[in-house]
A and B are shown apart, each in its own frame.
Chain A
Amino acid sequence: MDATDKELIAAVLDGDASSFEPLVERYQPRVFATARRYARREDEVEDIVQEIFIKAYQKLSTYRAEAPFEHWLMRMAVRTCYDFLRKHQRNREHNVTEISAEENDWLENVGEDTTEREAHRDAAKALVDRLLEGLSPDFRLVITLLEIEEKSVKEIAELTGWSVSLVKVRAYRARNQMRKMLARVAPEKYL
């Protein structure tokens, strides 16, 4: 029978570092999926995941077992991803107004059924990625957690360490910023 998280953590804290490996194996798929929401390049994703697990190992003695280990780890994952976004903010600033022909087609036909087709779905995905990358790190994080991962405001507050009201304010402003960016893409159509 597999050891529980609690048993493995106790073993690591007793000095058996190898007991950390099953914890990594158990949670790495989820941590990879989270990191892939914020970093596009695979080498960046691997660096983020590595940093998350190393931080988790170093701070394991601060884990109080009041909540499941997974929650504690995911909080660390979200905060590390946020740090990554802040560090790479300058590299990611780009002109959202320069959209591809496919993305433009998607916007042109957005009200029609054709938008559900595979090619159009890819264009929509590229466009939403472009919009998210144009947002500031805090706005991107809040939109990703609230609108894409569909987490509650309270959950986001716990994950990020922000207050509930700050999450709400940032979510409102982030949506406004997305609206402005989208309006810049096709001003003749929406303004």
Chain B
Amino acid sequence: MKLDQIIEKLLSTARKDQPSDRVPYAFEKRIMAQIADLPSAAEDLWAAWSRLLWRAVAPCAAVAVLTAMAWFSVSPAQPDRAMLDPELEEIVAMAIELPAE
């Protein structure tokens, strides 16, 4: 007997052997209990998105407050003393005066 014929015979055996459609007792109750913990199927994407946004409000506000606190806790930048050096001032003044000569 050829391989194809054997395969056909095996498949026909499988065809005759229908799997059982037996359902465990109260299986639908088990599914409904799982579904009770899920968000409603009626809820659309926008509702889910807005819920996520509301949830993000507190952490975002906390981050904003912390950033502000960190910003103000750093001392304001001091003007660079080197820039106010009298020697530098002199050089700049000379440069301005030169064309007048």
Binding site for B on A (CB under 8 A): 12-15, 17-18, 20-21, 24-25, 28-30, 32-34, 36-37, 46, 49-50, 53-54, 57-58, 60-61, 107, 110-111, 115, 121, 124-125, 127-129, 131-132, 143, 147-148, 150, 175, 178-179, 182-183, 190
User: Which one, B11-19, B56-64, B75-83, B84-92, is touching chain A?
Assistant: B11-19
A12-B40 Cα distance, complex, nearest whole Å:
8
Contact of B10 among A36, A111, A131 (CB under 8 A): A131
Q: Mark B18-60, 1 if CB is under 8 A from A, else 0.
A: 1111111001101110111010111010000000000000000
B-side contacts of A50, CB under 8 Å: 30-31, 34
Q: Which residues on the B side are within 8 Å of A143 (C-beta)?
A: 11
A12 touches B10 (CB 8 A): no
Report yes or no: A15 in contact with B40, Cβ–Cβ below 8 A.
yes
Instruction: Indicate which residue in A36, A60, A125 contacts B20 across the interface (CB closer than 8 Å).
Output: A36
Q: With a CB–CB cut-off of 8 A, which chain B residues contact A61?
A: 41-42, 44
- The smallest C-beta distance from A133 to any residue of chain B, in angstroms, reads 12
B100 within 8 A of A: no
- Measured in the bound complex, the distance between the Cα atoms of B43 and A12 in whole Å is 10
Q: How far apart are the CA atoms of A147 and B8 in the complex, in Å?
A: 9
**13 additional contacts, CB 8 Å, given A61-B44, A110-B6, A111-B1?**
A13-B41, A14-B42, A18-B32, A24-B32, A25-B28, A34-B19, A37-B19, A50-B34, A54-B35, A110-B1, A128-B14, A179-B3, A182-B6
> A178 contacts which chain B residues (CB < 8 A)?
7
The interface on chain B, measured as residues whose beta carbon lies within 8 A of the other chain's beta carbons, has a size of: 33
Consensus secondary structure, chain A interface: helix
CA–CA, A84 to B59, complex, Å?
A: 38
A147 contact set on B, CB distance < 8 A? 11, 14-15
Instruction: Report whether A17 and B35 are in contact in the complex, using a CB–CB cutoff of 8 Å.
Output: yes
Residues of chain B lying within 8 A (CB to CB) of residue A12: 41-42
Q: Is the CB of B38 within 8 A of A128?
A: no
Q: How far is the CA of A131 from the CA of B9 in the complex (A)?
A: 13
Chain A residues lying within 8 Å of B32, measured Cβ to Cβ, are 17-18, 20-21, 24
